[in-house]
Amino acid sequence: MHAALLFKALQAACPGLRGLGMAGPELRAAGLEPVAAIESLSVMGFTEVLAQLPRILGLLRRIKRTLRERRPDALVLIDAPDFNFRVARMACALGIPVFYYISPKIWAWRTRRVEFIRKYVRRMICIFPFEVEFYKQRGLDVEYVGNPLLDLIDWGRMATITPVAARVGFMPGSRKKEIRSLTPEFGCAGRLLRERFPALEFVLLRAPSVSEEELRALWPADVAVEILPPDDRYARMRSCRLLLAASGTATFEAALLGTPTIVAYKLSRLTFALARRVVRVKHISLSNLILDERIFPELLQQEADGPNLASHVAAWLQDPQALERVVAKLAPLHGLLGRRGAPLRAAQVILRELGIEPAPHVNSHHP
């Protein structure tokens, strides 16, 4: 999603620019030549990655071969450090400059990886304001361009949408493992909530890479739910009184939209045990991190079971003022993320580092 916005901005700033790489549906629709599918990397966690290691190593070999044969003028990496750091080494060995757009969360864990960035990355382009200070304290000068989500959301339209009082939304994520672990628990929570609040309506927002059939197979058949397609997702999220969502970008989007959200996640026991030893931040939700307060409840592992999820939802439903307080606390978030135009500002940074002057008609305020 963010790569597609950046690619379009690069093309606007440099007409005729071509790209190739690992692509998702948005990048493919934008005209990037796909070398591999981003869906192949839809995995998170230590033990979860080990199970997919042969396929991941095959992807890396394919990318290395493509870099060697095609020799692009630049390589742009987006997040995903455990995969992308290996690709960065490949590019540097071939003399291809590396740009990193959307910093990996090294401020949360494994902060020593900043030394890797110092050695292999020509320019780090950040989308959160606190990242600038993190890198500055470690002697790196980075570019802060604002958050690209501000360009994805039609704020005028969102302001006209009033949440439906009885609508609860579920977002179990996009990775296979999180969908399999969270969807049944969300369904269990739905059953318990329907017993207490018969008027509730449930909607489940599916990710682009997930089929309705997959979700139906995991959702309890006796709990009525409308499974909504991924298009117009922000309007659908905004229409919910509250959401239950897998930890990730969706919970941050919900915070920007002003939709109270209960954050849930489950990992393998080993992955979670390892994560507890190395993660250095107080919160897992980006909105909680940026606002430095546990505004969204964060339910992990055994806490993310159906009865506990239902209990948290019921507490909010029975206390409308609590929901209003959550919405009020989210209000400052939008202003902390800079202004619109982040993808184009990032494109301009990359082009100028390469000695290419962006097209004069391009205005960074109106991408």
Chain-wide mean pLDDT for the chain?
Answer: 89
pTM for the whole thing? 0.80
User: Candidates 1.20.120.160, 2.40.30.10, 3.40.50.11900, 3.40.50.2000; correct CATH number of 155-335?
Assistant: 3.40.50.2000
Bridge partners of residue 261, in order along the sequence: 243
Sorted by where each begins, the domain ranges of the chain are 2-148+341-353, 155-335
Contacts for 85-89 with beta carbons within 8 Å, 24 or more apart?
85/113, 85/116, 85/120, 86/60, 87/60, 87/63, 88/116, 88/120, 88/121, 89/120
Inter-CA distances, 366 with 338, 344, 361, Å: 14, 9, 11
Higher-pLDDT residue of 366 and 119 is: 119
Fold match, 2-148+341-353 / 155-335: yes
pLDDT in tens, 156-180: 999 999 999 999 999 999 888 889 9
- Of all residues in the chain, the percent with pLDDT exceeding 90 is 65
Contact 343, 12 (CB under 8 A): no
Domain 2-148+341-353 sits in CATH at 3.40.50.2000
Closest CA to 123 of 345, 360, 359: 345
Q: Where are the alpha helices (DSSP H) in the chain?
A: 2-13, 25-30, 46-51, 53-70, 81-93, 114-120, 129-137, 149-152, 155-159, 176-196, 212-218, 233-238, 249-257, 269-278, 286-291, 306-317, 320-330, 342-353
Assess whether pLDDT exceeds 90 at residue 338: no
What pLDDT is attached to residue 360? 73
| Structure-token match 């910093």, residue found | 103
pLDDT in tens, 127-155: 988 888 889 989 898 999 999 999 889 99
What's the one-letter identity of residue 150?
L
What gap in Å lies between CA 205 and CA 228, rounded to an integer?
Answer: 5
What gap in Å lies between CA 219 and CA 224, rounded to an integer?
Answer: 9
Q: How many CB atoms lie within 10 A of CB 32?
A: 21
Per-residue pLDDT band at 92 (split at 50, 70, 90): very high
Closest CA to 36 of 1, 11, 66, 71: 66
Q: How many CA atoms lie within 13 A of 15 on its CB side?
A: 4
Does residue 78 come out as left (phi exceeding 0), alpha (psi in the -120 to 50 range) or beta?
Answer: beta
Least confident of 165-169, 202-206, 292-296: 292-296
Assess whether pLDDT exceeds 50 at residue 182: yes
At 171, is the secondary structure helix, strand, or coil? strand
Assess whether pLDDT exceeds 90 at residue 51: no
First to last CA, the chain: 16
Mean pLDDT of 295-316: 94
Assess whether pLDDT exceeds 80 at residue 45: no
Higher-pLDDT residue of 72 and 359 is: 72
Closest CA to 66 of 85, 94, 41, 40: 94
Assess whether pLDDT exceeds 50 at residue 367: no
Token pair for 259: 């939709």
Tell me the longest C-alpha to C-alpha distance in the chain: 64
pLDDT in tens, 23-36: 888 899 999 999 98
Per-residue pLDDT band at 208 (split at 50, 70, 90): confident
Per-residue pLDDT band at 88 (split at 50, 70, 90): very high
Contact 318, 283 (CB under 8 A): no
Contact 84, 104 (CB under 8 A): yes
Contact 291, 332 (CB under 8 A): yes
